[in-house]
């Protein structure tokens, strides 16, 4: 059992998200709209505070979950948001490659003609 997200100290939130990601691989039925709303809040909070790499890391976790829920709108939104932070990183450390991979995943699940704005 995990603590509620709002009970966490901010610096532990990413660890919490990684644990949640692992648990959802074993119980995909828990990948609900409530979880989508929570991920939206987390990514927006980090976006607001200028935590560039964390926005990208949270997007990397949330996009596959959104695709699993067939929520293309959230997947595209998180990719777009992450891309706005890529130029703010001091060092890329594979972030651009990660976002390109996520864009390909979105494109692969998108109906023909709807692409992720490469």
Q: Are 107 and 115 in contact (CB under 8 A)?
A: yes
Per residue in 47-72, pLDDT (tens digit) is: 999 999 999 999 999 999 999 999 99
**Which residue has better confidence, 113 or 25?**
25
CA distance 8 to 68: 26
Instruction: Tell me how far the alpha carbon of residue 114 is from its chain's centroid.
Output: 20
- Which residue is listed with tokens 């927006």? 44
Domain ranges of the chain: 32-109
Provide the angle, in degrees to the nearest 10, between the axes of the packed helices 72-86 and 33-48: 20
- Which residue is listed with tokens 């929570």? 38
pTM given for the model: 0.84
């Amino acid at each position: 059992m995990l603590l509620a997200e709002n009970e966490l100290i901010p610096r532990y939130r990413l660890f919490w998200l990684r644990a949640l990601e692992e648990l959802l691989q074993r119980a995909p039925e828990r990948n609900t709209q409530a979880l989508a709303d929570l991920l939206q809040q987390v990514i927006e909070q980090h976006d607001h505070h200028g935590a560039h790499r964390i926005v990208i890391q949270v997007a990397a976790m949330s996009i596959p979950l959104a695709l699993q829920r067939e929520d293309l709108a959230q997947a595209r939104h998180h990719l777009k948001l992450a891309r706005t932070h890529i130029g703010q990183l001091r060092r890329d450390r594979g972030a651009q490659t990660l976002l390109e991979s996520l864009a390909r995943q979105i494109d692969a699940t998108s109906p023909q003609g709807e692409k992720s704005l490469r």
